[in-house]
Amino acid sequence: MRSLWLLSIVSLGLYGAVAVQVGDKFKDSGKCKACHSHIVKQWDNSWHARSHYGNDEYFQKTIDYVARKDNRKSLNTIKIECATCHNPRIAVTSTSAEYEAIAALNLDKDSAATKALQSDTISEGINCVVCHNIDQIHDELPADKRGINRVSWMKSGIMTGPYADAKSPYHQVEQRDFMDTNPNKLCFVCHANDTSEEGHRFIDMQSEFKNSSKTCVDCHMSPRKEGIAATLRNANGQTRKRLIREHGFIGGHVESMWQNALKVEVRKNANSLDVTLVNPQPHALPSGFGSREILIETQYLTGAKVIKNETLSLTAHYLSKRGKPTVPHLAAKTVQSFSIPPQGTKAFSSPIAAGSTQAVITVSYRLVNDEVREILDLKDPIWSKKMVIKQVNLKF
């Protein structure tokens, strides 16, 4: 009887729930392939397509770790909070103390929260109907309102895009500036800032962009180029040529993205080796998630003999409220942070190893530093892979 009473308050506990209606015709990308197969294929290989809890090891293990360490919230509650950006079409957007009581007793199997998290509607993460069904982006809201909390949706079956004259027999199309002249507005719905469970802001990418005329899509999609947005043919059997961007959303996970992303200058002084990193990008490097890292590795040699190896890690380290090393999302403070500011420069110097006649300097990038990778026990090689930015061979 007590169990039944507890179950009865689940609906009351989900006080913030807002059902997001997505028709079966539009809820997954497979429905879009008929007309946009090439774009769907690009998206399918992107990390937007992997943003779901079940598809991204770093995301999954971070949520699990936070749930173990933060006894104030259940695993489902943390999943729902993160779904704000990772799965914005989720049907339940918040939980309450009443729900936490249910979850603590493992009586939430049939709750709206559990069903929402298991729904096929969110299994593709950031798919077509996330970006192309947004009606308005509310920049007037506080900075901590992100993802689903910052947008208003169109009705199911109305899609937004960059063209005012677009037509389709399968859905309505409306033009929006965030799909055309102001794309950063759409990116910053989620990729703006990150705040830990302790209220510590550890990333603020939107602020980094304030002094840049570049847009996110210039690098992370592609420059506009002539192509076909839809394979629909007109009465003459022709497809319509458009200026379009690629939808692979390449970023830090893509090795080619890092080739010459920084300008690397190396100079030998009397007794030291000076390395200068120049960042031409509109945001800091490393940036994005707080555990990313740039490595400066120097190998000193005499002929083929290695005299000494040195490594300098440019990354951030975080402490929990108990003063222990932790992941960014549980940080109470940042105790060390090295990054090259947007359109800025940083220089590093080290003594030349005695007896060496040559130095090989390799500047590379890793998605997760050693500390966080160990805390989360990440197994996929992608997290430790070194993606070379530039290598310089200097003879003395």
Q: All domains of the chain, ordered by start, with CATH?
A: 2-244 (no CATH), 258-395 (2.60.40.10)
What's residue 210's pLDDT? 75
83, 162, 368 from 224: Cα distances, Å: 30, 12, 32
- Name residues of the chain where pLDDT drops below 70: 1-20
**How do strand 172-175 and strand 158-161 relate by DSSP bridges?**
parallel
Contacts of residue 55, defined as CB under 8 A and 6 or more positions apart, other chains included, come to 49, 125
Which of the 8 DSSP states describes residue 157?
A: T
Alpha-carbon gap, residue 16 to 118, rounded angstroms: 18
CB 267 within 8 A of CB 274: yes
Backbone angles phi, psi at 232, to 5 degrees: -60, 140
Number of CB atoms found within 10 A of residue 337's CB = 14
pLDDT at 9: 40
Angle at 318 between CA 86 and CA 251, to 5 degrees: 40
DSSP 3-state assignment of 281? coil
- Token pair of 318 as six digits: 């975080």
What is the predicted pLDDT for the residue at 4? Answer: 43
What single-letter amino acid sits at 286?
P
Determine if the pTM surpasses 0.75. yes
pLDDT at residue number 260: 87
Q: Tell me how far apart the alpha carbons of residues 123 and 116 are, in angstroms, rounded to a whole number.
A: 10
Give the pairing type, strands 305-314 and 387-395. unpaired
**Using alpha carbons only, how large is the chain's radius of gyration in Å?**
24
Contacts of residue 47, Cβ cutoff 8 Å, sequence gap at least 6:
56, 249, 251, 253
